[in-house]
Amino acid sequence: MLSFKQVVNTSRITKVANTMQFIKRFIIAASLIGSAFAFMPVAQASRSPASHFINEDDVFLALRDAARSDDAARSIDYASRLSNYPLSSYVEYYRLKPRIRNLPTAEIREFLTRHEGAAIADRLRADWLLELGRRRDWASFDEQYAQLTGDELQVKCFALMSKALKKQTVADEARSLLVSPRDYGEPCHSLIATLAQSGQFTSEDVWAQIRLSAETGYMPAARRLSALTSLDEKSIERAIEKPVLTVVRGVRGNVEEHQLYIIALGRLAKGDVEQAAHALAASQSKLTPAERALAWAQIALQASYKLRPETLADYWSKTADAPLSSEAYQWRVRMALRAGDWEKVKSYIEAMPVSLRSHPAWIYWTGRALKETGKREEAQKWFESIADQVHFYGQLATEDLGRPIVVSQTAKAVAAAELVPIAANSGFKRALKLFELNMRPEAIREWNWELRKMNEREHLVAAEFARRNSLLDRMVNTSDRTKSEVDFHQRYPTPFQEFMHRSTTSLGLDMAWVYGLIRQESRFVMNARSHVGASGLMQVMPETAKYVARKIGLVSFNPREVNDIGTNIQLGTNYLNMVLKDLDGSQALATAAYNAGPGRPRAWRSTLTRPVEGAIFAETIPFTETRGYVKNVLSNATYYAALFEGKPQSLKARLGVIAPKNQQ
C-alpha cells in the first residue's frame, strides 16, 4: 500500500511527466506543421536535422509512428539517429517493418535468430507470417508458424488454410475460430473461400458467416462472402441495409434466396420485432422446418436484446435445433433465466457447443438449474468444479454450496533477494521503458512475454516488482495468474486511501464498492483515458465532470484537473452516489448506470415482469461491456469488503433482488 507521501509524490511526478510530454509533442507538431518540412518530398524530409526533436525518446516515438504508416524512408532515417538507444531491438524492428514485403529473407531470418526468445522476434515473425500467407509461400509459412508463440486470428486463418490445401480436415477448427467478422481481413476470407471450394464448408457454412456478418452489422464481410454464393452482392447488401424491401418481396426462388429472406427478417427485427414476426408468420409455410427454426432464431435474438418478456415463449420456443451463433446460444439461455424456466435453462445450455458450455458462467448456471429442479447432489458437483476460482461465478458457486466468501492469504512476503533477478530481466527493463513512453500495448506484451517463463512464486515476485515501479495494473494482472499461492493484497490494492476515505465517508458510500469500481475502470492507472474520452482513476467523462462539479458547488473546477487524483475521486464518488440514490440504493443498478448511463438500467428494469435475483439481472444486461462490468465490479467489491472487514461476505446480498419499479 502506498503512503500518503508516496501518493502525493507519485501524483506530482505523473503531472510533471504528462506536462513535459505534452510540451514536447506540441513543439514537434508545431515544427512539423508550421515549417516547409511538412511539405518536403520524402527524400528531402529524411535528411532533415535531428534538431527537430528534443531528445532520443521523441525520435523513437517518431520512428514508431513512421513504421505504423509504412513510411520506409522516414523509418530508416529515424532509426539511424538511435544507434545506442535502450530499446535497440525495437529500433531495428521499426526499421524493418515498413519494408517487410520486399526484405530479403536472409535479413528477416538474421533478426529472428539474433533476438530469438524475445517478444519482438515473435512480433516480427507474426508480421512475416502474414506476408508469407499473402504470397502463398506455405513451406516457409509452416516452418515459421511452428515457432510462433502468439495467437493472432489472421495468422491462425492462414495456418488453417495451409492445412486445408494439404487436404487436411480443418472445418470444425475453422467454425470455432470464425466468430468475429470485423477482424477477419484477407486471411480469414481466403480461408472461408478455400474451405468452400474444397467442400469442407457447405453452402450452409457460408450462409452462417453471412448471417453472422449481418448480425454484427459488418457489411464489408458480407460483401466479400457474396462471391461464394449464386446471388449478387447488391441483393445481399439490400437485405442487410434495407431489409423491408426483401421481406416485402416474400419467400421466393431457391435455397439461397430463402437464406437471404431469413437474414432480412433478422435485420428487420432489429428495428421492429412485431413487423418481422408478423411477416414470418404469414410466409413460414413456404419455408422448410429447418428454415423456419432459423428464421425465428434471427427474430428471437433481436427480441432478446430488447429484453422483451414474450421472447422465450413466442420466439425461442420455435427455434428447435437451429444452428445458432455464439451470441444466440447464450441469449436463449439468458431469456430462460429471466423467465425463471430452469428446465429450459438446463436444456438450452446442453445444446451449446462444448467450447461455450464449459465457460464458468454456464457451468454455474447449469448447477443452478439442477439445484432449482431438485437435483441438489448433482448440482453440488458443478458448483465444486468452480468454487475455488476467484471470480464472479466462483463466488456465486461458493455461496450455493453454503459457504461464505472469505479471503485466504496463502502467499508469504516477497524477500528483497527475490526481486534481484526480476529487476535484472531484460524483458522487464524494456517493459518499464515502454511504459515510461506510454506505449502500453507494447509494454504489456513485453511484460506478459516474460511471465510465460515463470512459475507462480515468480509471478508474485514480479507483481511486487510492478508495485515498486508504480505499475499497479501490472501488479493486479500478474498476481491474478496464481492459483495455489495467492496474495489478495496484490490482487486488490488500496492506494490513495486518504482521498478515498475522505470522499466515501462524507457521502456515506461503501468504500469497498468504490475500490471495486476503480479496479475495473482503470486498474489504478492514474492517467488512463478510454476510447470515448473518460479520464483518470474513476474514468469520468468530461461532461459528467462538469455536471457533477456544478452540482456539488466545485466552482473552481477546471476540466484539466480531471486526472488529479483527489479531484477525480471526488467527482467519481459524487456521481456514483447520485446514481445510487436515483436507483433506489441498488449497487447492481448503480454500477450499470455508472458504465452505461442511468437511463439504460431503468429501461432494463422496466422490462421485468417479476422480481429477479441480482445475478440474473446482471447476466441479462444487453450490453456486453456493461454486463461484464457489473459482474466484475461487484465481485471485486465483495473481496475488498472481506479484506476491509476481516469477516465473510455475500456477493448475492450485494447483488440484491431487482424488481420492476412499481413493485419496489
Q: Give the tens place of pLDDT for each residue, 591-641.
A: 999 999 999 999 999 999 999 999 999 999 999 999 999 999 999 999 999
pLDDT at 33: 33
Domain coordinates in residue numbering, the chain? 170-357, 416-484, 497-663
The pLDDT value given to residue 52: 66
CA trace torsion 355, 356, 360, 362 (10° rounding): -140
Give the per-residue pLDDT at 16: 38
Q: What is the mean pLDDT of the chain?
A: 91
In this prediction, residue 19 carries a pLDDT of 42
**In the 8-state DSSP scheme, what is residue 218?**
-
Q: Is residue 288 scored above 70 in pLDDT?
A: yes
Rounded to 5°, angle at Cα 23 from 18 and 26: 125
Helix axes 511-521, 624-645, angle to 10 degrees: 140
Model's pTM, two decimal places?
A: 0.89
**Candidates 3.30.160, 1.10.3470, 2.60.40, 1.10.1240; correct CATH number of 416-484?**
1.10.1240
Neighbouring CB atoms inside 10 A of 18's CB total 14
Contacts of 572 (CB under 8 A, 6+ apart): 514, 517, 518, 536, 537, 538, 539, 540
pLDDT at position 532, please?
A: 73
Which tens digits make up the pLDDT trace of 563-587? 899 999 999 999 999 999 999 999 9
- Other beta carbons within 10 Å of 520: 22
Flag whether pLDDT at 338 surpasses 70. yes
Longest dimension (CA), the chain: 79
Contact predicate 239/186, CB 8 Å: no
- Which pLDDT band, with edges at 50, 70 and 90, does 40 fall under? very low
Residue 316's nearest CA partner among 359, 284, 340, 348 is 348
In whole angstroms, give the CA distance from residue 194 to residue 1.
Answer: 55
**Each residue of 88-129: pLDDT tens digit?**
999 999 999 999 999 999 999 999 999 999 999 999 999 999
Would you tell me which CATH number, out of the four given (3.30.450.20, 1.10.3720.10, 3.40.50.10490, 1.10.530.10), belongs to the domain 497-663?
Answer: 1.10.530.10
Contact at 8 Å (CB) between 52 and 28?
yes
Reported as a single tens digit per residue, the pLDDT across 634-645 is: 999 999 999 999
Task: Give the whole-number percent of the chain exceeding pLDDT 90.
Answer: 86
